[in-house]
Amino acid sequence: MSNSSKIALVTGGSRGLGKDMAHALAKKGFDVIITYQSRSADAENTIREIASLGKKGYALQLDVAESKGFLSFSEKLSTTLETEFNSRKLDALVNNAGVGYHQSFAESTEEGFDAMVKIHLKAPFFLTQTLLPLLNDGSSIVNISSGLTRFSFPGYAAYATMKGGVEVLSGYQAKELGERKIRVNIVAPGAIETDFGGGAVRDNQELNAMITSLTALGRVGLPDDIGSVVAFLCSEDSKWVNAQRIEVSGGIFI
């Protein structure tokens, strides 16, 4: 007997925005597989929280900076789908895993730039490519970008450049995967109160107040603001939404 629930994979789902995406997907009726790099305790906690929402969760270790490990990850994922979910394929993939890099253009290093390429551009490209056989026809891919592709904020040149590349990639994915009825969309968060970038938006009251003053809705973003949009794009509610960039920023810099 096959699993009647839809199944989503969220990379970097053990904490921050990814954790809330996993919660939102569970609330939307998905079973959820998350990946984590090293914080297994955080991942286990997220799985327990998914279970408390009445859905099944599972965590797999993955370092998205190491593309050579993508094939073995796909094999582990395939086994997990069959043994833990009584299924063979995913219905949604959320490319969320990432890290911050705050450095001026003049002082950015090649090492830092290359790390951003591996994590924020190469991973969404080649991990998605590797997982194509495990995606159902008619499934959904959501690539996480950033509001920083629309507006410029000093110190994020390298990071935002990668996210710009992800947005171009998403258009090509939507075009080429359309024959399989796979939808590809982009979610571009604004400034969010998480531990991302050392928790600056959350913990620096001066920065928090400045962002609030620049945002039409008068506050900084919260993780739930993003997770609910991602869950919508993974669901049948968005079945006719494709190749779109949705900025979720409360109207910053408008």
- Which of the following is catalytic: 58, 101, 159, 172? 159
For strand 183-189 and strand 245-248, is the pairing parallel, antiparallel, or unpaired?
parallel
DSSP assignment of 83-133 = HHHS-S-EEEEEE-------B-TTT--HHHHHHHIIIIIIHHHHHHHHHGG
Give the separation between CA 93 and CA 139, rounded to whole angstroms. Answer: 8
Find the length of the chain: 254
Tokens at 93, concatenated: 């993939």
Tokens at 48, concatenated: 């327990």
Query: Can you say how many angstroms the Cα of residue 234 is from the centroid of all Cα atoms in its chain?
Result: 12
CB-count exposure of residue 207 (10 Å: 0-12, 13-18, 19+): middle
159 is known as an active-site residue: yes
Kindly list the catalytic residues: 159
